């Protein structure tokens, strides 16, 4: 592929952009701060700083929800600002080619929205193609997706978990469930309030999850101190939260993820099942970092579980592999090719 080519992963929590020959050049929170209904005042990590702290006239929001574009206007503003920043830092991007990752198990309309978004952006794209997210994930995990060896990929992200079976460069099965790190954070907030009468913010909940989250009952009890507001007195207070408490709060979601894997395994053609027994399951996405999620999955499926290196970046790195290697070009699809029977 000649000329400037960019790859984009519109994640629920992070937006990542790859540039041919340069690698990942943008990796920031996929969040925007808008004042008075129409003035964009910040995007990315700067907007995230304002999250949970903004006055009533400033809305700070994630435009991608449950893996799909939920707020087209805000996503477009955010993307245009990201493109402006990239043009300043990396040279002009207009007239380039774009490869965009999209989940497989979504509607045609939702898939098309990723395409339309880039088409209507200020990048004036020369060509836009879609990469099935599980294919990008597998490539980013270093797998050879073109051969007949079937593989299972489980991407546990922020709003979604996508369980997919791939063979011969195509998707055999894929299921998207709306369970990921965000549901775990919300459950921690709810349980802290119920048990301790303490109100904590989303950022604090995420810190608690990253520090203490565990997919199996913790063998060693750890605690951390957190700050929040007491429901009754309204005053700021400090509390100690334990790993056993966090386990109880998130266990339900760990099992939903494992159940989704089981459902797909039950539907997998036997020849591919044999391949999966051979090579194991590949676990990607930022929430693959939850301690012992691989152990729980291994216990429940009796398969080997491989956690990919830098799991939050497998999708963007996988698109990068397609961009850099002409032999993989057929894995980027025109909009028509993504339609069933297209
Ligand atoms: N060390 C960690 N332990 C637990 N969770 C983590 C860790 N690091 C990141 N996460 C979680 O991973 C999630 C982000 O992962 P990722 O970047 O794959 O999501 P995304 O691609 O934006 O979302 P999606 O794929 O669902 O649209 C967040 O919920 C974050 O809290
Ligand atoms: Mg993702």
Tens digits of residue pLDDT in 246-305: 999 999 999 999 999 999 999 999 999 999 999 999 999 999 999 999 999 999 999 999
CATH number given to 145-307: 3.30.420.40
Q: Give the residue whose CA is nearest to atom 15 of ligand 1.
A: 286
Structure tokens at 16: 């990542």
Contact 275, 150 (CB under 8 A): yes
Strands 281-284 and 151-156: parallel
Contact 75, 117 (CB under 8 A): yes
Q: Which of 36-40, 62-66, 114-118, 295-299 has the lowest mean pLDDT?
A: 36-40
Q: Give the residue whose CA is nearest to atom 28 of ligand 1.
A: 158
Ligand 1 neighbourhood includes 180 CB (under 6 angstroms): yes
Instruction: Give the tens place of pLDDT for each residue, 18-29.
Output: 999 999 999 999
Mapping DSSP onto H, E and C, the string for 20-43 reads: CCCEEEEEEECCEEEECCCEEEEE
CA distances from 289 to 140, 215, 283, 306, 334 (A): 16, 10, 9, 12, 33
pLDDT (0 to 100) of residue 207: 97
Domain chopping of the chain, boundaries: 5-137+314-338, 145-307
Instruction: Give the tens place of pLDDT for each residue, 134-176.
Output: 999 999 999 999 988 999 999 999 999 999 999 999 999 999 9
pLDDT (0 to 100) of residue 2: 56
Q: Give the residue whose CA is nearest to atom 19 of ligand 1.
A: 157
Ligand 1 neighbourhood includes 285 CB (under 6 angstroms): yes
Strands 236-242 and 14-19: unpaired
Please determine, for residue 339, whether its predicted confidence score (pLDDT) is greater than 80. Answer: no
CATH architecture of 5-137+314-338: 2-Layer Sandwich (3.30)
Over residues 5-22, the mean pLDDT reads 98
Per the prediction, the chain carries an average pLDDT of 96
Q: How far is the CA of 152 from the centre of ligand 1 (A)?
A: 19
Measured from the CA of 13, which atom of ligand 1 is nearest? 22
Q: How far is the CA of 9 from the centre of ligand 1 (A)?
A: 13
* 3-state secondary structure (DSSP) of residue 296: helix
d(CA 141, CA 146): 14
Please determine, for residue 342, whether its predicted confidence score (pLDDT) is greater than 90. Answer: no
- Residue 1: which pLDDT band, with cuts at 50, 70 and 90? very low
Please determine, for residue 33, whether its predicted confidence score (pLDDT) is greater than 70. Answer: yes
- Residue 338: which pLDDT band, with cuts at 50, 70 and 90? confident
Reported pTM: 0.96
Q: How far is the CA of 340 from the centre of ligand 2 (A)?
A: 23
* Fold agreement between 5-137+314-338 and 145-307: yes
Please determine, for residue 228, whether its predicted confidence score (pLDDT) is greater than 80. Answer: yes
Q: What is the DSSP letter of 176?
A: E
d(CA 322, CA 132): 12
Q: How far is the CA of 67 from the centre of ligand 2 (A)?
A: 8
Instruction: Give the tens place of pLDDT for each residue, 88-126.
Output: 999 999 999 999 999 999 999 999 999 999 999 999 999
pLDDT (0 to 100) of residue 335: 84
Instruction: Give the tens place of pLDDT for each residue, 165-217.
Output: 999 999 999 999 999 999 999 999 999 999 999 999 999 999 999 999 999 99
Over residues 212-225, the mean pLDDT reads 96
Ligand 1 neighbourhood includes 140 CB (under 6 angstroms): no
Measured from the CA of 9, which atom of ligand 1 is nearest? 21
């Amino acid at each position: 592929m000649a000329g400037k080519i960019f790859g984009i992963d519109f994640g629920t929590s992070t937006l990542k952009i790859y540039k041919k020959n340069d690698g990942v050049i943008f990796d920031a929170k996929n969040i925007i701060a808008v004042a008075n209904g129409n003035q964009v005042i910040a995007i990315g990590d700067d907007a995230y700083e304002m999250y949970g702290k903004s006055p009533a006239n400033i809305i700070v929001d994630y435009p991608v929800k449950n893996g799909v574009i939920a707020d087209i206007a805000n996503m477009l503003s955010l993307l245009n600002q990201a493109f402006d920043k990239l043009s300043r830092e990396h040279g002009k991007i207009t007239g380039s080619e774009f490869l965009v990752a999209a989940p497989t198990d979504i509607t045609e309309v939702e898939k098309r929205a990723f395409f339309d978004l880039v088409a209507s952006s200020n990048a004036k794209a020369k060509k836009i193609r879609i990469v099935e997210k599980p294919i990008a994930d597998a490539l980013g995990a270093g797998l050879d997706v073109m051969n007949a060896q079937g593989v299972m990929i489980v991407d546990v992200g922020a709003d979604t978990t996508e369980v997919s079976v791939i063979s011969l460069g195509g998707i055999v099965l894929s299921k998207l469930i709306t369970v990921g790190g965000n549901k775990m954070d919300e459950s921690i907030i709810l349980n802290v309030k119920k048990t301790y009468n303490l109100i904590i913010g989303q950022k604090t909940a995420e810190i608690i999850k990253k520090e203490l989250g565990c997919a199996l009952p913790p063998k060693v009890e750890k605690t951390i101190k957190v700050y929040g507001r007491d429901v009754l007195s309204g005053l700021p207070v400090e509390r100690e939260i334990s790993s056993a408490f966090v386990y109880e709060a998130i266990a339900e979601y760990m099992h939903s993820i494992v159940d989704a894997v089981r459902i797909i395994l039950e539907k997998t053609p036997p020849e591919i099942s044999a391949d999966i027994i051979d090579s194991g399951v590949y676990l990607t996405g930022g929430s693959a970092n939850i301690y012992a999620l691989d152990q729980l999955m291994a216990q429940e499926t009796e398969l080997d579980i491989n956690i990919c290196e830098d799991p939050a970046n497998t999708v963007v790195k996988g698109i990068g592999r397609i961009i850099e290697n002409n032999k993989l070009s057929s894995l980027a699809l025109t909009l028509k090719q993504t339609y069933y029977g297209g």
